Amino acid sequence: MRRCNLLVTASSMAALFYTVSLAADEPVEIIVVTATNSAQSWLQSPASVDINWVEQTGLLFDSAQLLQGIPGLQADSRANFAQDTRLSVRGFGSRSAFGIRGIYLEQDGIPLSAPDGQGQLGSVLLDTVQSIEVLRGPLAVLYGNGAGAVISLNTRKPGSSKIVSNLAFSEHHQQQQVQLAAVGKQQSLQLAAKQFKTAGYRPHSRAAKDQAQLNWQRSISDTLYFNLRYDWAYDPYLQDPLSLSPEQWRDNPRQTVAAARLFDTEKTVKQQQISASLVNDSNTPFQLALWHGERDIAQRLAFTGAAITSAGGEVQLNRQYQGIKGQYQLNVAAPLVAVLGASASQTDDRRFGYVNDFGQRGALRRDENNQASNLDGFIRLNYQASSQLSWHGGWRYTDLAYQINDYFIMGANPDDSGQRNYYQQALALAVNWQFNSQLAWFASAGQGFETPTLAELAYSPDSGGVNLQLDASTNKQWESGLKWQNSQHRASVSLFSIATNNDIIAASSDGGRTSFRNSSKTLRRGIEALWHYRLSATMRSELSSHIMQARFNDNELQGKQLPGVAAAEISWQWHYQPMITVPLQLTLQSHYRSKVYTDDNNTASAPAALRFNFNISSQQQYQHWQLRQWLRVDNLTNKSYVGAVVVNQANGRAFEPGTGRELAAGIALGYQW
């Protein structure tokens, strides 16, 4: 019945889109996307793909701030700087215990995801991001391991030489930043530095973040460009107030668990990365990219980890990583284009675990070297059968090798050494039919995979060493939708279905030693809708939503809803620019999320919540000088809500409280020459 209702809704919207588009003769606004590994308009892309443009005002400290308003994407802010933003797309990544998994991350074509499929956005300098592209559906699987969706960040390119300094602050936060751009005839240089500090929303939640970025671009010819980039991030302290139980949250959502102070839970992160790319955008474009980086993490957890079989309550990790990727577009014949590509990447993790002696480092409990190596090859085919009809398809092969060397073998603690290879392939096929200059229909189907991460392979449920029996999860999915666009409207509606097999879930958690197993099948079905409408020269509206049914499909969890996944989300933004002498922009935002279950057995859930934000900004130009001011109020009604949940938390503390009402302001001064 639910599926029939979705089909009826989609059919009704299709009729509405087609009728309205016939009556309008407005030119189509072109939005460039990369769903098929080659630039094309949003209307011609055969997939659910959307772009968020980042405004240059505000306190940007959480990637969830940039990802609201994308249908199918659930971006949950933990309001806890020791933990990464929780992201899931159509259910992919919803049960990640830490970091982001199930979603492929990249910035300017350079992967932010490790070979095992896990990634994070905490070290990205968000203020330099110009746009974020989110690809959902079957074509995403062609990006490789753990690509249930793709989130691609694009750095802002300088249009002129300028220097900008800004200051922002709120009740809890303060931020200083400077950006410099020097643009020449054949090259450009960008420098950015930022310092962020916060007292935190709860006791024992202070944090500090320092970031810097250098970007250099050189034009070798009219079509050939060389890019060199260096990113540096240092978080000297990120205190962790820990999540709350449902009872604690209802009693006082601003409290901090006593164990946070008892064990002095906090985290320190340092990361640096250098990357280089060569891009040719001629009739036969190609791209070549290399990167190398290092990430250091020190973290104290909320337990001693004193048991000999524990991984310890204090973590020390040094990760070295590097990679190379390239692709070449071959014009086979006039209507057929092929994109050939390959990549190789590797991470080396040197990991130690110690007893957390109530905030002091104790005895050794873990000593390992873990390596993940990935080799990929792919082919993408784009066939323009006619001016209206285009076909797209692709195939990707992945060879992923894990090597775990355990050097801590003592008494009852077993040898957790081992190795495992995963040989996987992904494939997808899509079609796009453009009825006219404003309306298009698309459909696609594909098969993808998600291997276990290094952390999930570490321990077997029977404590017999490394979990080598853990298999990759596979998924089969399809989607179909309509897109409509003219000078005033951009709208889309999509239906999707995703069936997974061998999903990876937690099997047991004891003394910091968490093991995983392959679960039964899951089934996710839903509908997504987006409508951007320019009401007049001064007003515009942006609405996005999704409804999804995500359930386990057999065995002991039959019929249970997937934890961490909201069945419904609605985001709406209203922008108003009054016609007055002083330029102003007013924005009102609202966001609704339905309840979210915290565990596989659906024993507890975070309640539904509706929140509102308001923002006002202004900008003035005085010859070479530019001045910007902004004022923002988050959570206007001071709603108590759960910002994010910790899925399958063994101790029952699954709620990460959201923030209360907060006023923030900022000013930026720039000089352009």
C-alpha 543/C-alpha 48 separation (Å) is 16
Q: How many Å apart are CA 631 and CA 639, to the nearest integer?
A: 20
Cβ atoms of residues 486 and 21 within 8 Å: yes
- C-alpha angle 664-667-669 in degrees, rounded to nearest 5: 165
Identify which has the larger pLDDT, 605 or 27: 605
Residue in the structure block whose two tokens are 């204090």: 314
pTM of structure: 0.93
How do residues 469-486 score in pLDDT, each as one tens digit?
899 999 999 999 999 999
Which tokens hold the place of 588? Answer: 């009102």
Please, what is the average pLDDT of the chain? Answer: 89
What is the H or E stretch that residue 457 is in? helix 454-457
SS3 category, 649: coil
Burial class (CB in 10 A: 0-12, 13-18, 19+), 415: middle
What is residue 416's predicted lDDT score, i.e. its pLDDT?
Answer: 83
Strands (E), 68-111: 73-76, 86-89, 100-101, 104-107, 110-111
C-alpha 145 chain-centroid distance: 15
Min mean pLDDT across 35-44, 174-183, 209-218, 320-329 is at: 35-44
Total Cβ atoms within 10 A of residue 611: 20
Task: Give the model confidence (pLDDT) of 105-155 as tens digits.
Answer: 999 999 999 999 999 998 999 999 999 999 999 999 999 998 999 999 999
For β-strands 100-101 and 118-119, DSSP reports them as antiparallel
Torsions phi, psi of 23, nearest 5? -85, -10
Q: If we measure between CA atoms, which residue out of 285, 270, 248 comes closest to residue 40? A: 285
Nearest to 519 by CA among 601, 454, 400: 601
pLDDT at 495 > cutoff 90: yes
Res. 12 pLDDT band, cuts 50 70 90: very low
pLDDT at 16: 39
Q: Tell me the pairing of strands 513-518 and 32-33.
A: unpaired
Residue 141 near residue 426 (C-beta atoms within 8 A): yes
Q: Best-predicted range by mean pLDDT among 37-41, 308-312, 429-433?
A: 429-433
Q: What average pLDDT score do residues 488-505 get?
A: 93
First-residue to last-residue Cα distance in the chain: 63
Task: List the one residue out of 500, 508, 504 whose CA is nearest residue 517.
Answer: 504
DSSP tag of 128:
G
Q: Which two tokens stand for residue 461?
A: 């449920």
Judged by phi (left if over 0) then psi (alpha if -120 to 50, else beta), residue 585 lies in beta
Mean pLDDT, range 660-667, rounded to an integer: 95
d(CA 491, CA 534): 12
**What confidence tier does 31 reach under pLDDT thresholds 50, 70, 90?**
low
Q: pLDDT tens digit string along 434-457?
A: 999 999 999 999 999 999 998 888
- Strand (E) or helix (H) holding 21: helix 2-23
CA–CA gap between residue 350 and residue 362 (Å, rounded): 19
Residue-wise DSSP of 141-193: GGG-TT-SEEEEEEEPPPSS-EEEEEEEEESSEEEEEEEEEEE-SSEEEEEEE
Asked whether the predicted pLDDT for residue 344 surpasses 80, the reply is yes
pLDDT tens, residue by residue, 267-288? 999 999 999 999 998 777 899 9
Helix (H) or strand (E) holding 562: none
Structure tokens at 190: 């960008």
d(C-alpha 34, C-alpha 57), whole Å: 27
**In this predicted model, which residue has the larger pLDDT, 554 or 140?**
140
C-alpha 280/C-alpha 225 separation (Å) is 6
**Tokens representing 118?**
């896990």
